[in-house]
Chain A
Amino acid sequence: MLMLALGLMLGAAFGALLQLSGASSHTKIVNALRLKDLTIMKLILMAIGVGLMGVHLLDLFGLANMKVKDLYLLGIVIAGVIFGVGFAITGYCPGTALAACAEGKLDAWVTVMGGLGGALVFAFIFPEIEESLLAVGRYGPVTIPSLLGTHGILIAAPLGIVCIWLAMRLPNPGGAR
């Protein structure tokens, strides 16, 4: 019960931030992909920069509950390409579509319905490709520090600073006034 309330609260904070930052706007996302308005790129870089440093600082003290996703090279590249096409068409990602639904945008509701269809179809295709396509270049949950045998913070801290620096340097037409 406590966990459900915590989930709802963190999710609500995330949803409110997405909405207030303009991430649930088709126009903002599409213009980010057209490289016309980099607000969303700056937002993502800033979030990753803060996340990199915070998560690895927690990890340094053994307080991080990490959950690293598997690497399966061929499948992930194909998946990213398919996702990118959907991203450009709808102008939403699975999370921002839900935020846009709540704002009253009907096209976001239809995007979520399409998404439920796509996820269901993948669930039934998965057994067919698990040991073929998804096995090409499968390395398990590898990270850069695990590969190099160093501590995460040594890579996360400089990379985080680079992300934040880049976020500050990118031009910002169309940002918050």
Chain B
Amino acid sequence: MKPDTLRRYETPHEDVSPVLSWWAGGIGIGLVLIVAVALVQPIGVSSQYVVLDGVLLHNVLPDVASKSPYLVKATEGWTLATYEFFFVLGIPLGALGAAIATARFTTRVVPVEWSRRFGSNPGRRLVWSFIGGFLLLFGARFGGGCTSGHMISGISQLAIGSFVFSTALFISGIITARILYRDGEMRC
């Protein structure tokens, strides 16, 4: 085995250097959007979290689910067999294929940059991952879209709401990251 391959299995953290260059990845994502707009509609992800919520809730407590006008509107007919849901389902499948093909499958729990600042305690990372995920989708549904729907699809359509959302997102994200990871560089 080459030393390079050996190192990959020994290191506790994932290999963070991308396989594709930014321009190739960017052109690829742009092309996916163009094909999607030509054939169906712009790409979007966050609405399908609501759809999955709605369908799951409707299975357990159909009365509660039917009382929410937002869930009723988001999940037409309480089904997951839609183009939109299958697009989102495709994301992990494609990522899994790419990770396996490039030997980048990893079971690490605590990311490098996180452990530099907050230590390698997995419990702490998981609790904050849940809180962060909650805020992420709460914010995305509040604003009507996420990085895919607002930033990539929305700005490509010159939608003013998407410019506003993306600007607010980046200002808030940059400030939060500054505060959260401020000591990260000291131990490099």
B interface vs A, CB < 8 Å? 14, 16-43, 45-46, 49-50, 52-54, 57, 68-71, 74, 81-99, 102, 104-114, 122, 125-126, 128-162, 164-178, 180-181, 184-185
**SS class of chain A's interface: helix, strand, loop or mixed?**
helix
In A6-47, the 8 Å CB interface with B consists of 6-28, 30-31, 33-36, 39-40, 42-47
Please state if B173 and A88 are interface contacts (CB–CB under 8 Å): yes
With A16-B98, A54-B34: A69-B22 Cβ-Cβ less than 8 Å: no
**Residue among A18, A28, A76, A144 making CB contact with B168, cutoff 8 Å:** A76
Q: Which residues of A contact B112 (CB under 8 A)?
A: 26-27
**Residue among B21, B97, B153, B158 making CB contact with A152, cutoff 8 Å:** B158
The number of residue pairs between A and B whose CB atoms lie closer than 8 Å in the complex comes to 538
Give the interface residue-count category, chain A: 35 or more
Please state if B90 and A12 are interface contacts (CB–CB under 8 Å): yes
Q: How far is the CB of A157 from chain B (nearest CB, A)?
A: 11
Given the complex of chains A and B, what is the CA–CA distance between A103 and B2 in angstroms?
23
Closest 3 CB pairs of A and B: A11-B90, A46-B26, A50-B30
Given the complex of chains A and B, what is the CA–CA distance between A93 and B113 in angstroms?
17
Please state if B85 and A7 are interface contacts (CB–CB under 8 Å): yes
Q: How far is the CB of B2 from chain A (nearest CB, A)?
A: 16
Q: Which residues of A contact B92 (CB under 8 A)?
A: 15, 98-99, 101-102
Q: Which residues of B contact A145 (CB under 8 A)?
A: 158
Given the complex of chains A and B, what is the CA–CA distance between A144 and B157 in angstroms?
9
